[in-house]
Amino acid sequence: MSLTTWETVITGLNAAVLIGTVAGSIRLLRRRPRSLTVFYFHFAIISDLTAMLYWLAFDLLLIQTRMPFAANEFAEAAAFLMLAASLNAAEGGSFRDARTEVALAAVFGVCNAALWVTWNGEWAEFILGGAAFTYFLCVCARCLKHSGALNRCQWIVLGAGSLVVLLLQLGWIAWAPAHPVMDHIATAPAVAMVLLWIIRLVRAIRRGESWQRRFILAVCAFAWCTTVMYMTTGWWYLAAELLNIIITPLMLLQLEREAEP
């Protein structure tokens, strides 16, 4: 099958997983109707699903046509904001408690948004999405710090990995003759970081760590996977989307314990 066919198939599979996750979140809401964490997560997944269905319909109806600034951009921004709200409900605290981590997350988010604009030239789309995504990353950083989900060594790996990914993306832009090679060099570390997040989440599950910490780790894995999907295309994008298919239900599963009566 061609790359376009694979993209449609995997996107359809992703949509099916999102539908199942929405159904699961509805079940959790019935069990805990006053849980703000589940409530916001439910609408975050609905927003993500609507963005996915819009993209899939556009891709099937207008193959090989550039998608304009459209409803799915608003849905993606809404998903980021709702996930941030869900994290805030799960793990309290103030941004002042994690100033360094939040500042670095903000720099990472702004730099990525700037690079997205450089690649595509779509200012409105990426300013809207970039602002929401940067706030989402800041909330992720605050919750990671406040919950103690990462030790000092893991923070260093996260910081170093983020810096490497940004530098490699910048090199991709600056060194036009080597785009095919730099694309692989820049994306491989980012995908590796997603795998590290999943490994850390699995370890947290096996150790029986708190549901808040496990949920935060799952959402952070989703955030990093989204970063990879935004920064690449082709087969690397499909690899990131497959990881996203795994991560999405993992976020829901971490809320099962929270939803227990």
**Interior CA angle at 38 toward 69 and 75, to 5°?**
5
Burial category of 156 from C-beta neighbours within 10 Å (exposed 0-12, middle 13-18, buried 19 and up): exposed
If phi > 0 it is left, if psi is from -120 to 50 it is alpha, else beta; for residue 64 that is left
Model confidence band, residue 147 (pLDDT cutoffs 50, 70, 90): very high
Return the closest-CA partner of residue 84 out of 48, 132, 49, 130: 132
Model confidence band, residue 177 (pLDDT cutoffs 50, 70, 90): low
Crossing angle (nearest 10°) for helices 152-174 and 179-207: 160
Whole-number Å distance between alpha carbons of 55 and 67:
8
pTM: 0.90
pLDDT, residue 85, reads 96
Listed by start position, the domains of the chain span 3-254
**% residues pLDDT > 70 (the chain):** 85
pLDDT, residue 44, reads 96
Average pLDDT of the segment spanning 10-23: 91
Which tokens in the block code for residue 254? 């971490």
Q: Are 14 and 52 spatial neighbours (Cβ–Cβ below 8 Å)?
A: yes
Which tokens in the block code for residue 218? 């799952």
Sign of CA dihedral 191, 194, 198, 200: positive
Crossing angle (nearest 10°) for helices 3-31 and 234-254: 10
Whole-number Å distance between alpha carbons of 52 and 114:
24
Which tokens in the block code for residue 8? 């449609």
Residue 234 has pLDDT above 90, yes or no: no
Q: What is the pLDDT of residues 76-127, one digit of tens each?
A: 999 999 999 999 999 877 788 888 999 999 998 888 887 777 766 666 667 7
